[in-house]
């Protein structure tokens, strides 16, 4: 159902479920949260929950999409912070701006899942850009993409998803490093 066609009650219910989920995630790890807890916190029935979501992973995905500011086609994605020449991975930079999502992003059991979610959304945009800047083939560009996405997530996690002066300095340094690598690949043409 498109967001434009949802009525106010549906939007309210979806938001109540997501807010209850976020409140619970701030109290305990994702693996320990149940649908029953979310329903109790949201003051809804399980049947109401299942009208809108198939399981907790669906809620997690919606919350992550909001945290990462992925566009659903109706709403433009948030703009990345530009650091250095270029924003290498905008999604990894966008996630540092919303305190209500920090706990979920810091959950050690979810790191690879979140990275996978970012990769799925960013791959089609970033890999062709890497290829254009380096002359690498798909497989080689994907290796660089994986390296960049894991590294960017690690830097954000190291700073607890907070944009501070040290974060800006580290991201600028890494962007400079990657951009220099791009130029070196393009110049050498070895790969």
35-89: per-residue pLDDT in tens? Answer: 999 999 999 999 999 999 999 999 999 999 888 876 443 333 434 444 444 455 6
98-110: per-residue pLDDT in tens? Answer: 778 889 989 999 9
Domain CATH for 49: 1.10.10
User: Do 171 and 96 belong to one domain?
Assistant: yes
User: Do 94 and 184 belong to one domain?
Assistant: yes
User: Do 159 and 107 belong to one domain?
Assistant: yes
Quick one: pLDDT at residue 161? 85
Structural domain includes residue 74: no
Quick one: pLDDT at residue 124? 93
Using the structure block, give the residue that is written with the tokens 């690598």: 181
User: Do 183 and 96 belong to one domain?
Assistant: yes
Structural domain includes residue 160: yes
Structural domain includes residue 79: no
User: Do 109 and 161 belong to one domain?
Assistant: yes
Q: How confident is the model at residue 132 (pLDDT cuts 50, 70, 90)?
A: very high
User: Do 123 and 36 belong to one domain?
Assistant: no
Q: Are 181 and 136 in contact (CB under 8 A)?
A: no
Q: What are the distances in angstroms from CA 120 to CA 70, 89, 160, 176?
A: 11, 12, 23, 25
Quick one: pLDDT at residue 70? 65
Nearest residue to 83 via CA among 18, 164, 181? 164
Structural domain includes residue 61: no
Residue 36: give the domain boundaries: 3-53
When divided into structural domains, the chain yields a total of 2
């Amino acid at each position: 159902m498109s967001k434009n066609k949802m009525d106010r009650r549906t939007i309210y219910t979806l938001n109540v479920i997501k807010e209850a989920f976020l409140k619970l995630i701030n109290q305990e790890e994702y693996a320990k949260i149940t649908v029953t807890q979310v329903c109790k916190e949201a003051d809804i029935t399980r049947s109401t929950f299942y009208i809108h979501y198939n399981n907790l992973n669906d809620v997690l995905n919606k919350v992550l999409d909001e945290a990462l500011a992925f566009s659903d086609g109706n709403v433009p994605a948030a703009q990345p912070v530009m650091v250095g020449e270029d924003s290498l991975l905008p999604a990894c930079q966008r996630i540092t701006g919303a305190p209500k999502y920090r706990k979920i992003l810091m959950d050690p059991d979810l790191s690879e899942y979140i990275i996978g979610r970012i990769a799925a959304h960013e791959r089609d945009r970033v890999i062709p850009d890497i290829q254009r800047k380096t002359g690498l083939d798909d497989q080689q560009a994907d290796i660089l993409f994986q390296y960049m996405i894991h590294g960017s997530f690690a830097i954000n996690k190291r700073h607890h998803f907070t944009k501070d002066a040290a974060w800006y300095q580290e991201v600028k340094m890494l962007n400079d490093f990657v951009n220099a690598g791009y130029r070196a690949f393009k110049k050498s043409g070895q790969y």
